[in-house]
Amino acid sequence: MRRKRDGGVGTLADHIPVMLDRALAHLDPRAGLGPDGAGRMYVDATVGRGGHAEAILERSSPDGRLVGVDRDPAAVAAAAERLARFGARCALVHGDFAGLRAILAGRGVAAVDGLLCDLGLSSAQLTDPARGFSLQGDGPLDMRMDPTSPGGAGDLLDEIDEPRLAEAFARLGDERRARRVAHVVLERRRQGRLSTTAELRDAVHAALGRSRTARIDSATRAFQALRMLVNHEEDSLRALLADVPDLLRPGGRAVFIAFHSGEDRLVKHALREYARPAGPARLRLLTRHAERPSREEVLRNRRSRSARLRAVERLPEVA
């Protein structure tokens, strides 16, 4: 699916993968052969611009392999440039991690030694007005992580009813005045006064007023909720979480980095359910609570400030 929260804007080398040290510590990528006689296999389910994937391939040199997946073809192209030096050890796929099992099966991979899923938008997506993600500047009402897929934010606003939009603003954006925001947004859309991201921002400001602080724009929550709705992000995450035990070899590990409280909640509950001691536990929790970035990392990379990391290990099969 989507999208890395690499920090900063500039060349590929300038981008900073979020919580890289902790992700590598839990994932533990290393050289060696898997049960199929080939190099250990790792998956970056949200390869983005390739920062985490690069580190995994370096740590697992010389024979570790990696499949990188992303919904954004621009991200796949950027990762291909960054990871070209690894040659056949790295394969990149344009796709949604909801279908990761099928993607891997298509490449002859039944299970992997490590899975990383970093949920969040990339700097490249946020800073390009044409993508429609950002509050800054002005662009079309798009917000699709995969621009080749049908139905952007504008199409969604033409089809959705007010109660469902309000529910999305409340649940996905934690917006307390969700009904008011949904009413104003859809009323302006019907009047032909809402066709760009700037007009969407203005509509939310009209419903809520401008933010009283310089830190967070009052339209941020609505933008987040609409983006998650357009891209079916919760559905994709649920599909991936349902497959995690079967995707990992015994001893294999999975690391999730979430930036949204609802997504972190989905990850937490799914992983804890798999690790329940009362039942036939399939996973072992490596993190009892979500890990957070260090103060030094937040100062170095402000985009990491809301990150939460959770990790698990696949247990051996019980006879």
* Number of structural domains found in the chain: 2
62-74 b/e (C-beta count within 10 Å ≥ 16 → b): eebbbbbbbbbeb
Per-residue pLDDT of 71-85, as tens digits, reads 999 999 999 999 999
Q: What residues contact residue 313 under an 8 Å CB cut-off, 6+ apart?
A: 251, 252, 253, 283, 284, 286
pLDDT value of position 37: 81
Range of the domain at 278: 12-123+233-314
Residue 113 belongs to a domain: yes
Residue 129 belongs to a domain: no
Q: Which two tokens stand for residue 111?
A: 């299970």
Rounded CA-CA distance 140/260 in Å is: 24
pLDDT value of position 4: 46
Q: Which of 310, 268, 304, 264 is nearest to 121 (CA)?
A: 304
Per cent of the chain over pLDDT 70 is 92
H-helix or E-strand containing 117? strand 112-118
Neighbours of 220 (CB within 10 A): 16
The pTM of the full predicted model, rounded to 2 decimals, is 0.91
Neighbours of 37 (CB within 10 A): 6
Q: Could you tell me how many helices (H) and strands (E) the chain has, helices first?
A: 13, 7
Q: From 198, 230, 262, give the residue that closes a domain.
A: 230
Strand partners, 188: none
Both 31 and 160 in one domain: the answer is: no
Per-residue pLDDT of 102-138, as tens digits, reads 999 999 999 999 999 999 777 778 778 889 898 888 9
Per-residue pLDDT of 216-252, as tens digits, reads 789 999 999 999 999 999 999 999 999 999 999 999 9
Per-residue pLDDT of 167-204, as tens digits, reads 999 999 999 999 999 999 999 999 999 999 999 999 99
Q: From 187, 204, 230, give the residue that closes a domain.
A: 230
Rounded CA-CA distance 128/115 in Å is: 29
Sign of the Cα torsion 49, 54, 56, 57 reads positive
Report residue 58's pLDDT band, with 50, 70 and 90 as the boundaries: very high
- Pair 100, 74: CB distance under 8 Å: no
- The β-bridge relationship of strands 112-118 and 248-258 is parallel
Rounded CA-CA distance 230/200 in Å is: 15
Report residue 52's pLDDT band, with 50, 70 and 90 as the boundaries: very high
Report residue 39's pLDDT band, with 50, 70 and 90 as the boundaries: confident
Burial class (CB in 10 A: 0-12, 13-18, 19+), 229: buried
Residue 83 belongs to a domain: yes
Q: Where are the alpha helices (DSSP H) in the chain?
A: 20-27, 51-59, 73-83, 100-106, 123-127, 153-159, 162-173, 178-190, 197-208, 220-230, 233-247, 261-274, 295-300
pLDDT value of position 3: 43
Q: From 204, 230, 256, give the residue that closes a domain.
A: 230
Both 104 and 204 in one domain: the answer is: no
- Pair 117, 247: CB distance under 8 Å: no
Q: What is the CATH number of the domain that holds 184?
A: 1.10.150.170
- Pair 20, 257: CB distance under 8 Å: no
- For residue 245, say if its preceding peptide bond is cis, omega within 30 degrees of 0: no
Per-residue pLDDT of 266-299, as tens digits, reads 999 999 999 986 678 899 999 999 999 999 999 9
